[in-house]
Structure 1
Amino acid sequence: MGMKYVAPVGVLLAATTFLGVSAHAENGPVGGKDLGGRGLVSPAGVKAPPKTAAKSYVVADAETGEVLAAKDPHGRYLPASTLKALTALTLIPKLDKDLKVKPSSRAVNEEGSAVGLVSKPIYTVDDLFKALMLVSGNDCAMALAEANGGLAKTLRDMNTEAQRLQAFDTVAKTPSGLDKPGQSSSAYDLALIARAGLANDDFQRYISTKVDKFPAPKGYYEIGNHNKLLWRYKGMIGVKNGWTSKALGSFVGAARRNGHTIIVSVMRHEGYFWDEVADLLDWGFATRGKAVPVGRLVDPLPAPAPLPTGPATPLATPTRPVTSASPAGDAAGAASGSGGIPAVGLYALGAGLLGGVIWLVYGIRRRSR
């Protein structure tokens, strides 16, 4: 079998893991040099953004990607349940919406917020995504991870997706956002994730649903969206709010008015943030198009082009005889050829590595745009 392609995201992950290199530090912060500080960054010549108790926030124009104002945008904080936006964005394209799922006992007993799953095959993937985004079901996050092939695979997929989005401040250690050492995100990354999610029809459908029916062993019950602004802010689309005792309050959301969409993300808020988020959205709508942006939400890395593959080269005939004493070992030798790795494999591997390096350089240079 030939190697079809080498994803640039994998190369970025390898560079970060094995070389200890930050994938975005060399050319400055992602989104622009003004986004590298810890303080408030706002445009000149317009009214200052409203005050908020959040330690970090971003206000951005979803269509243009322009960051209108920010405070400590790349500060790394615990994301709480806002991380579920990444979970949904990662898994929606991978899972059949009509697939029936029987949650494991681990999923059913997941701590924290839950929709109340039982270990019976009465839920579709679509049901689980709804409850994930409406009522922040940690049990649903684990059940979806199991449907995707397990927790370890899902976390790899989530971190790969974060790298593809150039959300380099984000490290997923759980699919639910429950606090875990090493897990992090930033207001900038949450805005990137929300912007990417808005381009997915199913994602947008889940986050904008106010009330829906959820299966029960006998019938169903109603669940309601925890995003308070869906109920009272004109044009609110949704996305995700979160809270834990260690992360404090976090939120990422988007609203659309007069054909324009504004994204607001806040992290580490100690109190009631809903009114402040509404004020930041109002300011974003009033400011867009009237001020020089302080930065930009970068685009995702481009998908790699598949490398051409040809027919497999015939392998060399093993030189040592096959004996009944070691059939398994000799079969393995025949499969690999006398040199261990076929020449075509070496060429494909070399081409893949070269392509990965090119994508890595390309991604690094794009970050400061």
Structure 2
Amino acid sequence: MSIRRRLVGLVTATALLVSAAPALATDTQPLALYVNGRELFLPQVPILKENRVLVPMRAYLESLGAEVGWEPPDLVTAALGGRTVQLRIGEQTALVDGRSVPLDVPAQLIEDRTYVPLRFLSEGLGATVEYDGEAAAVTVQTAPPGQLEVIDGPLNVRQSPSTSSPILMTVPLGTRLEIVTEEPGSEWTEVLLPGGLRGWVANRYTRTLGSQPVVEPFLPILEQRAFLQAGGQCVGAVPIIADLTLVPLAETMRALGGSLERTEDGAGMRARLSGRELMLVPGSVEGWLDGQLRILTAAPVVVGGRPFVAARDVADIFGLPLSWSDATHTVTIGEAGTVCNPPAAAKAYIMMDAATGAVLSEYNARDPLYIASTTKIMTALLAVERGNPNSVVTVSSTAASQPGTSVYLRAGEQRTLGELLYGLMLVSGNDAAVAIAEHISGSEESFAWLMNQRAAELGARNTYFVTASGLDDWVDPYSTAEDLAAIAQHALQNPRFRSYMYPTQAVIPGPWGNRQLTNSNLFTLRYPGATGVKNGWTEKAAYTLVASAWRDGREVLLVLLGAPTRTELYSQAYNLMDHGFILAGQSWLLN
């Protein structure tokens, strides 16, 4: 058995049915636990024992988004953000990134559960811990990722900390850059660029990223999902398990105007709404409404420290109307409000948070469709991952003779890879696409194989690339809105990729003078806060678009496929993106 295994991979319909919390020993005190501002409702509660805070190992590590491993009979391994902790039950020392560290309290078994010391485990994984004795609460902040985010762009990354220093790269709003050195009070920060290159950015145009809500434990259970409207807002994507729509209880109660709190013994939860009180225990179908027994449709389950209950139980118990829409895949508790999945004059779309991949809205997002020149996102991603932007590419006759949109490359012409990438992303040059493919893999056919391999690595399971350009006259490539979003979301994490997708114009040399390249993506040119990404059209695909935009510290990613006209494409994109920022502000995953 691998010692490093993501715990959420074990979450299935049966594994979710956790047992109720065991009765605590008489010398322990239950505590409330908060991670990055969210109270955790763990199946087994944290306890204060012998003046030390202990937490249930597996449930806590899952809520943190850590990888957890277990080697019988007693070895525990946890990994988070590049840091690793190993400890054995009952031993007074542990390993932090291979270094031996003494423990004042060892990991131990309590009521047949493995409990570990909270402060040591959290700080060993890079988090900070604060204990409030009066409130009987512990607060954990996971370590920020050591990144800057561009808040005023485009931003020049320079060779040295000076405005007169040569520019290494220019990146748009929302770009995240890894910090190398950050001196307090300094006006500049050194950052790491792709390929190991280092540069400097002016601090007044960036902010240091702080700890974010942990979403990793929830993404696997949202593979099968619906969307929840409650209290007049779209709470967001929620899991469907065993044909039941489950809703996050704490956030649903707040949206409905109620509350959720832990019971005094820490073993259950108390939901209050409209003067009524419901007592629940994870793993039990027995609930108590105002002291009267109620049998639930399904037992509440806890994933990532969040309790989930069946939507129909919330509605039935508190006397609220419940409705379901097959068209929008939305369950509504109470009155309808913000629409989760608005209608679209296109075949499919999806919106997600660009930083986390949390889905905000979708329509036919898993339908295989033609995607036209949005294919070039993968072409550009592979080029920046595997190529050097300064390397010289000799254009073949095959590349120069490509039909459709073009940079007007000539056979035998030599251009740098970086220049070809501007031609690829700004004017959608099919000739540039094939020249890049041949440079990276030797032939377009070999490059297409590489594209499919990379797509599979990124979780795009229903995608088939045939060409580097997206031309589909004689072949049948396809992808889905969801797959294309997964590819684009990963690409947006690469500053080098971003540097080629957003400029209004670029100039590259040609045999008879400079070529003036003007960005053909009207979304990038016209939408406030737009950062990219790529548009496309073929007769088979109709009009397609992958768009990203940054607003109030958040970036939203939109994929829109099969719009009937160019006007409809951009009109729908502007409306959906506006709506996406509203949904991001209401999402239970992000707030």
Normalised by the size of structure 1, how large is the TM-score?
0.68
In structure 2, the partner of 1:33 is 224
- Give yes or no for contact 1:79–1:267 (8 Å, CA) kept in 2: yes
Aligned-residue offset at 1:289: 3.5
Q: Which amino acid aligns with 2:573?
A: V
Structure 2 distance, partners of 1:208, 1:43, is: 38
Question: Is structure 2 residue 468 aligned with structure 1 residue 175?
Answer: yes
Q: 2:378 pairs with 74, 86, 90, which one?
A: 86
- Mapped to 1, the partners of 2:402 and 2:328 lie a distance apart of 38
Aligned counterparts of 1:55 and 1:132: Cα–Cα separation in 2: 25
User: For 1:279-310, what per-residue CA distance to the aligned partner results, in whole angstroms no more than 9, with x for missing partners?
Assistant: 111001112131357xxxxxxxxxxxxxxxxx
CA contact (8 A) 1:74 1:188 kept: yes
Counterpart Cα distance in 1 of 2:551 and 2:443: 40
**TM-score, normalised via structure 2 length:** 0.43
Unpaired segments ≥5 residues, structure 2: 1-219, 227-239, 241-324
Distance 2:432 2:506 in 1: 15
Structure richer in helix, relative to its length = 1
Residue 50 (structure 1) shift: 4.1
* Larger proportion of strand: 2
Deviation (angstroms), 1:269: 1.0
Residues 1-369 of structure 1 aligned to structure 2 (within 5 Å): 32-34=223-225, 39-41=327-329, 44=332, 46-48=337-339, 49-148=341-440, 149-179=442-472, 180-271=474-565, 272=567, 273-292=569-588
Paired residues of 1:194 and 1:253 also in contact (CA < 8 A)? no
1:60-115, Cα deviation, whole Å (9 max, x unpaired): 11123211111111100011000100111122111121111121111101011111
> What CA distance in whole angstroms lies between the structure 1 residues aligned with 2:460 and 2:532?
20
Consecutive unaligned residues in structure 1, runs of 5 or more: 1-28, 294-369
Higher relative contact order (CA 8 A, sep 6+): 1
Whether contact under 8 Å (1:38, 1:75) holds in the other structure is no
How much does 1:43 deviate?
Answer: 7.3
How far residue 243 of structure 1 moved from its aligned partner, in angstroms, is 0.6
Partner Cα distance (2:221, 2:484) in 1: 13
Deviation at 1:39, TM superposition (A): 4.5
Q: Contact 1:111–1:138 (CA<8 Å) still a contact in 2?
A: yes
Root-mean-square deviation (CA, aligned residues, Å) is 2.3
Q: Give deviations 1:30-75, integer Å, cap 9, x for gaps.
A: 9521379995345756411543211100011112321111111110
**How much does 1:218 deviate?**
2.9
Aligned to 2:46: none
Identical-residue share of aligned pairs (%): 34
CA distance in 2, matches of 1:92, 1:237: 18
Work out which of the two has the higher radius of gyration on C-alpha atoms and give 1 or 2. 2
Cα drift, residue 152 of structure 1: 2.3
Q: Deviations over 1:137-159 (max 9, x none)?
A: 00001000111122222111100
Aligned length: 266
Change (3 A) 1:40 1:159: same
CA distance, structure 2, for counterparts of residue 43 and residue 278 of structure 1: 26
CA distance in 1, matches of 2:588, 2:329: 12
- CA–CA distance in structure 2, aligned partners of residues 83 and 98 of structure 1: 23
**Relative to structure 1, is the Cα distance of residues 199 and 252 closer, same or farther in structure 2, using a 3 angstrom cutoff?**
same
Task: Kindly indicate whether the alpha-carbon contact (under 8 Å) linking 1:122 and 1:217 is maintained by their aligned counterparts in 2.
Answer: no
Q: Is the 8 A contact 1:73 1:186 kept in 2?
A: yes
Taking the aligned partners of 2:432 and 2:326, their CA distance within structure 1 comes to 35
- Which residue identity is paired with 1:288? A
CA distance in 2, matches of 1:59, 1:223: 29
Contact 1:159 1:172 in 2 (8 A): yes
User: In the aligned structure 1, how far is the partner of 2:399 from the partner of 2:388?
Assistant: 19
After superposition, the C-alpha distances for 1:189-243 in whole angstroms (9 at most, x for unaligned) are 1111111111111110111111000211133121111110222111100111111
Cα distance change on mapping 1:231 and 1:43 into 2, 3 Å: farther
